[in-house]
Amino acid sequence: KNQVEQSPQSLIILEGKNCTLQCNYTVSPFSNLRWYKQDTGRGPVSLTIMTFSENTKSNGRYTATLDADTKQSSLHITASQLSDSASYICVVRAGGSYIPTFGRGTSLIVHP
């Protein structure tokens, strides 16, 4: 069964600090992996998308990594800002499938 597990479930950090969110998946065969940011009560917004051949992708202060061998991805946020407070969702798509598998997200709170 295709599954995506994210950790930690929630995280509180101080403004200006860095943090790393984890995503482990069992989706096979692997097609691509996305990280989304979802503000409370709003739709998710794509941060990065990575295919099998990519192991790092950056979007401003967000850097995603992918290790397809261990089926792990991480999202690193640098110099956090209050506006980074949101849920971060890892989504993996299997090759040949139109149905994505969503993780349950990591809730990040950035305190001043």
Interface positions with another protein (CB under 8 A): 31-32, 34, 41-46, 49, 51, 89, 93, 97-100, 102-105
* C-beta closer to another protein: residue 3 or 18: 3
CA-closest candidate to residue 83, choices 34, 40, 20, 53 = 40
Burial class of residue 37, CB neighbours in 10 A (0-12, 13-18, 19+): buried
CB of 98 to another protein, least distance (A): 4
CA-closest candidate to residue 21, choices 104, 99, 96 = 104
CB of 91 to another protein, least distance (A): 8
CB of 81 to another protein, least distance (A): 21
